[in-house]
Each structure stands twice: as structure tokens, then as C-alpha cells.
Amino acid sequence: MMIHKTQSDSDVTLALTGRLDSVTQSELTQELEKVFEAKINLLTLDLSALEYLSSAGLRVFLSARKKVTQMGGKMKIVGANEAISEILQITGYADITVMAKRGKR
Amino acid sequence: MITVEHLSKKFGNFSVLKDINAEIKKGEVISIIGPSGTGKSTFLRCLNLLEQPSGGHIVIDGEDILKKGVNVPKLRQKMGMVFQSFNLYEHLTVMGNVTLGPIKLRGQGKKEAEEKAAELLRMVGLSEKADSYPDELSGGQKQRVAIARCLAMEPEIILFDEPTSALDPTMISEVLAVIRRLAKNGMTMAIVTHEMDFARDVSTRVFYMDEGFIYEEGSPKDIFESPQKEKTRAFIQRLRILKHEIGSQHFDLYKLNADIEAFCAKHTIDKSIVGNILLIAEETLVNMLLPLKKEGQIISLALEYAEKRGEFQMVLGYPGEVYNPMLDEGGDNLALMIVKKKTKNIQHSYSNGINQLLISM
């Protein structure tokens, strides 16, 4: 998995590419630990280039949301493809997910 | 075009080919399939006398080529051969490889041979590589050069001996595409292959070889969908099942993924379905079964594709106490919810100390 970080003030966007699974979840966990060293207002996870997501990744999202909320900030997820949106919905993430309407799967 | 009667081949006392009888007509594309070590390649190599048969007859255009005094080099010009390991001349450029035969054996002028070669290289998509040497090419490119070289001799039939077995999965399709095109153009071919989808699409007839003879032959539909004889059936059945065993807590998820992807590729399964299968495998193994696995226990995974119903079944076997993870609502439930959402039906059974989870997708 590749993680691309962009930041302006206290808004951080992490764009994820590839697979977020039980093997790669630790990479995201580590990246988030660094992000949370400062106060975050808005954390955006851009999943446009994410191909695969399993529950291991969802757990990371869940704990990140908790952390951001504790800081008084918000988290949103954008760009998930159809298969990944389905997983996000199963697990009650739809409320924070802004789905990018894309032509491709 | 070629008639083979009672062909046999022994290496010492070991009979590789026992009694081969076959006919290949002009324009046919014959796929030769079967388990390893059943003489498929030997059969091909006997046809153009790279191996000297021990007995029988091979009649080509009315002439028995096993008679004394047959002009073997002339005969080989009629039959091109493409090998698993390419067998290009490393010290010659691509152009040199393709023109060598026509110049030396067919007496073509250099210019004529190069014009023809340029045309063939264009056909296999390698015009740009004419001046490259083989070690500058990928495996798939080398094999396409080998095919162009073969065509330069204007053979009446091409024998392919596992042409994609030495290639990475990414390169297999580029070589198969070239062979498909030849089939479309009416080239007579005999292909030993393990690419079953390819065999099914491209061939006019399939020979299933086992025990040193052609055990069963028929149309691709006959052989792949309703094989009549026991060993053919068992062989075709095995193709539909992927088996994997997990012995370590830290098993290699990506190796399993690669195996599942390769298995699905063989059956041309849609990418989104492959994604689901990978997900079910990861959730059940990593989140449900591995945490409970004790040292020395083995979890087995079998994936079967029921083509008629277009349905996948995954069977997980794991030892220990009676345990159905689908009823276990402990933890955060994320894995359980994903598995339930992405599957049609899950059944649990237990016998002789082994739990079995039958998952239909």
C-alpha cells in the first residue's frame, strides 16, 4: 500500500493506494500516529486508488475516527469504489462517507 | 495430414509412449493436455523425430517418416517447433534468429528473408526489436520471436511444447494472443499446454494423454464438460479445485492471494468476484480461525468453482473443539458482518474432531 499525505494547517488528507488488509494495516496505523502528534481539525481519507479493504483496515478507520472526534475534529472518507463502499456501509461507516460518484467500479 | 499408428517410445526399459494412435488433419488445432510425465512432450518430439520412436508409424502426406532413407531435415522444414525454453540463438539478433533458417536451409537471399522476417515480426508485435539480442527481451518477447522464426520457414504444421510454461503470468497472454491469431488464420497446430481455458477456446480437438497413450479425445466441450473416462474426469475435476494448507500463525496471505488469483484467472473469473473471494479468505482465516489455532494444527482451505452454477464454494477445515465462527458474536463483529454480507450460504459441520465450514458465494 502507498500513502500520500497532504496537509494545510490542521486539515490532513491521506490518499491510499493499493491494498489495505491485515498485512498492510500497520503502515496506516503508523502514519496516523504521526498525524495525531498535532491537533487535527479535518482528517480526509481519500480511497480513490484503494483496490481492496478488509476488516483490518476498517478497524484502523474506526480508531482514527475516535481519535479525531476526541480532538474535536472530524473525519471523512471520500472516493471509495463500489466494492469498498459496500464494506464501509456494512459496518456503519456510511454516515461519515462522502461517496465520490465515479463512473468506474 | 499426419497419421500416427501404434507409436511407441521407450527410454531404456521405461515405456513413455505405449500405443499412440492419432490423426491430425489440415487446419486442425489440437491441444494435448494431461498430467505431467505422461509423455505429452515426448509425443510431440517424436512427431518431428527429435526423439527416435521405438515402434509404430508416422505417416505425413502419405509418406512413412520412420522408414529408412527419409530426408529428416526436409521433413522438419514442414514442421515448425516452439519450445518451452524459447531456444533462440543468443549470439544473433532477433532479425538474425528469424532469417537464419530461410537463408541457410531454404536458400533465400538475405534481402528477401529480411523482408519476410520484418513482416512476421510485425505480426507478433516486435518490429521495434529486430536489432535487439535475445537477452534484451522479456520471456514473452523471446517466445514471440521463436514463433516468428518458426513461421519464417513456412511450416505446414507447428508443434508447440508448453510454450507458456516458462513465462510469468503477465506474459502468458501476449504469447497466447499470437497463437490464437495463428489459429484464426487456419494454421495447423498441435499444442502441449497447461492453459486449460486456452485449450478450450482455441482447439478444434483435445487429446487427453495418460499412461502413455491418448486416453480420451474429443471436442473441447466433450473433454472439459463431460469427460467420459475415469482418469479424464479426475483430471478435469482437479482443475476446478484449489487446495491450500495453513500450518503457521504467520502464514503468507499474499501467497494464498496469488494462488487464488491464478486459480480464478484459469477460469476467467470476473475481477470483482475474485476480490470477494480474497476478502472471505482473509476475514475467515485471519480474523476467525487463526487466532484459535494451536501450534501444530493445520487449517485447510479448498476453493471449488462450479461452472454450471457460476458459483464458488470455499471449504475450510480446522481441528479442535466444535466451533462455528458464524455464531460467535464476540469482538467487534466486523469480520463476521463482512463475511455474512458477501456470501450466499454458510454451513457448519463437525466430525472426527474436524470442523468444516462450507461457504457458498
Distance CA(A19)–CA(A51), nearest Å, equals: 6
DSSP-assigned letter for residue B294: P
Burial B258-277 (b: 16+ CB within 10 A, else e): ebbbebbebeebeeeebbbb
Domain boundaries, chain A: 2-100
Q: Which residue of A has its CA nearest to B288?
A: A55
Which residues of A lie closer than 8 Å to B, measured between beta carbons?
Answer: 21-23, 51-52, 54-56, 58-59, 62, 83, 86-87, 90-91, 105
User: Quick one: CA dihedral A94, A97, A99, A105, positive or negative?
Assistant: negative
What grid cell was written down for A28? 496506516
pLDDT value of residue A104: 39
Query: Which H or E run contains B28?
Result: none
Is the CB of residue A64 less than 8 Å from the CB of residue B311? no
- Indicate yes or no: CB of B287 within 8 angstroms of CB of A22: yes
pLDDT above 60 for A55: yes
Tell me the angle at which helices B139-152 and B94-105 cross, rounded to the nearest 10 degrees: 20
Contacts of A62 in chain B (CB under 8 A): 332
- Which residues, at least 6 apart from B112, have a Cβ–Cβ distance to it below 8 Å? B102
- pLDDT band of residue A16 (cuts 50, 70, 90) is very high
Distance CA(B166)–CA(B172), nearest Å, equals: 9
What grid cell was written down for A62? 474506526
- Which residues, at least 6 apart from A17, have a Cβ–Cβ distance to it below 8 Å? A1, A2, A3, A4, A49, A50
- pLDDT band of residue A96 (cuts 50, 70, 90) is low
Residue A51 to chain B, least CA–CA distance (Å): 9
CA B144 from chain centre, in angstroms, equals 17
pLDDT value of residue B244: 87
CA dihedral B219, B223, B227, B231 (to 10 degrees): 130
CA B282 from chain centre, in angstroms, equals 28
Residue B19 to chain A, least CA–CA distance (Å): 52
B334 reaches A (C-beta below 8 A): yes
Distance CA(B179)–CA(B87), nearest Å, equals: 18
What grid cell was written down for B155? 511450416
pLDDT above 50 for A33: yes
pLDDT value of residue A93: 67
Q: Strands, E, within chain B: which ranges? A: 2-11, 14-24, 29-33, 55-60, 63-64, 79-82, 157-161, 188-192, 205-210, 213-218, 241-246, 299-306, 311-319, 345-351, 354-360
What CATH class is the domain A2-100?
alpha beta
Q: Which residue of A has its CA nearest to B335?
A: A55
pLDDT tens per residue across span B237-256: 777 788 888 888 778 899 89
Distance CA(B333)–CA(B156), nearest Å, equals: 64
pLDDT above 60 for A99: no
pLDDT tens per residue across span B126-173: 999 999 999 999 999 999 999 999 999 999 999 999 999 888 777 888
What grid cell was written down for B347? 454451513
Distance CA(A99)–CA(B336), nearest Å, equals: 24
pLDDT value of residue A103: 40
Which residue ranges in chain B fall short of pLDDT 70? Answer: 307-309
Per DSSP, the three-state class of B303 is strand
- Indicate yes or no: CB of A54 within 8 angstroms of CB of B338: yes
**Closest by CA position to B31, among listed B22, B259, B171:** B22
